[in-house]
Structure 1
Amino acid sequence: SSLAIGTTTGYRLFSLSSVEQLDQVHESNEIPDVYIVERLFSSSLVVVVSHAKPQQMNVYHFKKGTEICNYSYSSKILSIRLNRQRLVVCLEESIYIHNIKDMKLLKTILDTPPNTTGLCALSINHANSYLAYPGSATSGEIALYDGNTLKTACTIPAHDGPLAALAFNSTGSKLASASEKGTVIRVFSIPGGQKLYEFRRGMKRYVNISSLVFSMDSQFLCASSNTETVHVFKLEHLTDSRPEEPPTWSGYMGKMFQAATNYLPAQVSGMMNQDRAFATVRLNISGQRNICALSTIQKLPRLLVTTSDGHLYI
């Protein structure tokens, strides 16, 4: 696992091979006020964007200390996503898809719905290179695009309100989403767009979900927000039919409850069928923008949360 951080003086790359310490792999002070830094897995390729030139993307080979190329765009770069096949640059109303091997521009998606946060997700599995981004500025519609064939795959009506977070699993077969309301997280099959899971983060308050991430084996989904609580959900294996309840009082009540939901309004019935968090973690801060990750370090599964004030929690 690795960690990339943009700072007022440049950027830093760290290796997370143990929980005891962070090993700094590289530090660059050549470009100040870096607000985007993306590393291609554990390779030497790193993409950097600075507040000094927010419309310009710089691609470096940091081990050689050389700039591979740079590209300028019509407006501020809001986010960058990359895998071993594609590099995606997201502006407020357009998306650019490059071939990462020669940086050739393959496709420009123009007139996308206003996307002020640069929300988008790219599958790290380059065999499909699916790209997800908001299909509407007023509703929670997801536009799914195939980065390899350069064609629209489908649209997914995921939420009632505007989207706040998107994340693919490692194989690109599942997509998680959350709206600005932040109470419900949904997982869809890819490329079909069928809803597989629905998780409830909470009911009492709306939150801004800043990060969604799957574990590498897709068994867990982590969500962090502007609150102090980080939620981990477990994706149970789906079966066509549930096992028959034993002939007990609790089994009888379970059947009655399940039958009752069929007669309730769809919104209430849906809330009753939503799964809650498998585990939660409380940070000692709130209100900080953060990013979470689920990784294996020293042969054990770890939850990592890094915050905008420069802290890393493991």
Structure 2
Amino acid sequence: MSLAPSSEGDRHNKFNNEGIDPSFSSPPSSSSFTLSPQESPRPKSSSSALPPEQALLSVGFNQDYGCFACGTQAGFRIYNCDPFKETFRRESDGTGVALVEMLFRCNILALVGGGKAPRYSPNKVMIWDDHQNRYIGEISFWGEVRAVRLRRDRIVVVLEFKIYVYNFADLKLLHQIETFGNTKGLCAVSSGPTSCILACPGQHRGEVRIELYNQKKTHFVQAHDSSLACLALSQNGALLATASNKGTLIRIFSTVDGTKLQELRRGAERTEIYSIAFSANAHWLAVSSAKGTVHVFSLKPTTEEPRSEAMAAARPPSSNGSMASTFGGSSSYLLGASSSLLSFASTNAGSSLALIKGVLPKYFSSEWSFAQFHLPEETRTIVAFGPQKNTVIIVCENCSFYRCSFDATRGGEMVQLEYERFMKQDEAEEQITAAQMRSVK
């Protein structure tokens, strides 16, 4: 089992005299960024891999999916999603950064070394202030850091069997959590300012632990029979989505009491789920997998008022020719378009079979995806929702970037709007050569 600094004096924690302002009130600039709420897939090294894949060590979105960060064999890079462009990079001495965790669009980053020539130990989390161009904090552990999650008030560090929660302002250790074996570094933290919610593996296979820090409550949810493969929280932390290593079902739970709200079916064959992401309004869920398909699911409203509105919208027109209930004006904007509510009642395959759910096998009663995008290449991917309405961002291990849109009324196959390559072949080759030369020295 991996160990971390003890709370007695936090001997392995280092912090500069100035500390960190947890409000980060300085205005965003072109060199500001944030964190991904899901696992950043680390490419598996292969002798046949292309140079860009060898140079790329990790990819992760920030909290609002506005940009993504890449850890490379020579440092790290930050990219904006819409419009797509490289914001900046910090690469110089040929030493690698395995994990890069951003905090919205401020100048603070959490970095973990890795690659052929690590910039610093994979057992350390370095807090980097890009505005000051220096490290302002350091946390050391006895084991390898698997993931880091950031909030404005918390730093969450994930090891294989343990998770540590620190206060951002002074790096004081606040909480330690024992987990089931967690080599993927699974952990999700709500990004909204009003509530602090954390979800991570429990101490049993397929179990999820939910920490409601504001309420000082803990829930345990037996989400799956097999091991967890992926999990994600909605922005406000109210909803939890999980997938097991079977990769056929995605389950949605309420974090308030652990109730299962919905069961979504990706497909019938086993596969690996790479990432899960909620839309900002929690009306949609995106999932990417090893099958080379990105799925978008319609989520059911979670309060009685939206549920009744959705049911009314799904009814046939009344005898006078008007709909029993309509959406429009500001309410349509706040609810995310009426189609997102209609879709769960009329478009998801599972809902049309709801009346005979008790007769049909479970395969037919779960809900199928509303929209899909088929990648033209086999590669690991992470997925998120773009800032434009009904758009999905896909970032691939082979350095491909896609921006797609889906029809919120009809669903079906998504339309590709943009394609880019974010690490060029010659740049990757230079990184690998520099890393190889450094390793020889």
Give the TM-score, by structure 2 length. 0.62
Q: Quick check: 1:86–1:147 contact (8 Å CA) kept in 2?
A: no
Cα 1:220–1:31 shift into 2, 3 Å: farther
Q: Quick check: 2:166–2:172 contact (8 Å CA) kept in 1?
A: yes
Matched AA of 1:4: A
- Cα distance in 2 for residues equivalent to 1:278 and 1:259: 20
Equivalent residue, structure 1, for 2:18: none
- Cα distance in 2 for residues equivalent to 1:81 and 1:163: 18
Q: Deviations over 1:179-219 (max 9, x none)?
A: 1000000111122111111110001x211001000011111
Which residue of 273, 282, 289 maps to 1:218?
282
1:160 aligns with 2:225: yes
Aligned length: 294
Q: Deviations over 1:26-83 (max 9, x none)?
A: 4243672211100101110001001231101100111220111111111000011111
Runs of 4 or more above 4 Å deviation: 240-246, 254-260
Larger radius of gyration: 2
1:120 aligns with 2:187: yes
Equivalent residue, structure 1, for 2:394: 305
* Higher relative contact order, chain-length normalized (CA < 8 Å, sep 6+): 2
Equivalent residue, structure 2, for 1:250: none
1:77 aligns with 2:156: no
Which residue of 159, 167, 178 maps to 1:99?
167
Q: Quick check: 1:31–1:50 contact (8 Å CA) kept in 2?
A: no
Equivalent residue, structure 2, for 1:108: 176
3-state SS of paired residue (1:271): helix
**Uncovered stretches (5+) of structure 2, i.e. residues with no partner:** 1-65, 317-349, 404-441
Matched AA of 1:27: R
Which residue of 251, 272, 282 maps to 2:364?
272
Equivalent residue, structure 2, for 1:282: 374
Alpha-carbon deviation of 1:232? 0.6
Matched AA of 2:170: D
- Cα distance in 2 for residues equivalent to 1:289 and 1:234: 24
Equivalent residue, structure 2, for 1:249: none
Structure 1 segment 197-236 matched on structure 2, within 5 A: 197-203=262-268, 205-236=269-300
Identity level (%): 32
3-state SS of paired residue (2:223): strand
- Cα distance in 1 for residues equivalent to 2:92 and 2:352: 65
3-state SS of paired residue (2:368): coil
3-state SS of paired residue (1:132): strand
Structure 1 segment 47-196 matched on structure 2, within 5 A: 47-51=110-114, 52=118, 53-109=121-177, 111-138=178-205, 140-148=206-214, 151-196=216-261
Q: Quick check: 2:353–2:365 contact (8 Å CA) kept in 1?
A: no
Cα 1:5–1:257 shift into 2, 3 Å: closer
Q: Deviations over 1:164-192 (max 9, x none)?
A: 11111111110111110000001111221
Cα 1:242–1:35 shift into 2, 3 Å: same
Which residue of 357, 374, 377 maps to 1:261?
357
- Cα distance in 1 for residues equivalent to 2:354 and 2:157: 46
3-state SS of paired residue (1:22): strand
- Cα distance in 2 for residues equivalent to 1:184 and 1:208: 11
- Cα distance in 2 for residues equivalent to 1:40 and 1:209: 25
Moved more, 45-54 or 100-109: 100-109
CA RMSD in angstroms, aligned pairs only: 2.4
- Cα distance in 2 for residues equivalent to 1:152 and 1:237: 24
Q: Quick check: 2:384–2:394 contact (8 Å CA) kept in 1?
A: yes
Alpha-carbon deviation of 1:227? 2.2
Alpha-carbon deviation of 1:259? 5.3
3-state SS of paired residue (2:199): strand
Q: Quick check: 1:289–1:308 contact (8 Å CA) kept in 2?
A: yes
Equivalent residue, structure 1, for 2:330: none
Moved more, 26-35 or 79-88: 26-35
Alpha-carbon deviation of 1:120? 1.1
Cα 1:279–1:70 shift into 2, 3 Å: same
Equivalent residue, structure 1, for 2:68: 3
Give the TM-score, by structure 1 length. 0.86
Q: Quick check: 1:183–1:201 contact (8 Å CA) kept in 2?
A: yes
Q: Quick check: 1:133–1:144 contact (8 Å CA) kept in 2?
A: yes
- Cα distance in 1 for residues equivalent to 2:199 and 2:172: 21
3-state SS of paired residue (1:181): coil
Compare the two structures and name the one with the higher helix fraction.
Answer: 2
- Cα distance in 1 for residues equivalent to 2:210 and 2:78: 31
Compare the two structures and name the one with the higher strand fraction.
Answer: 1
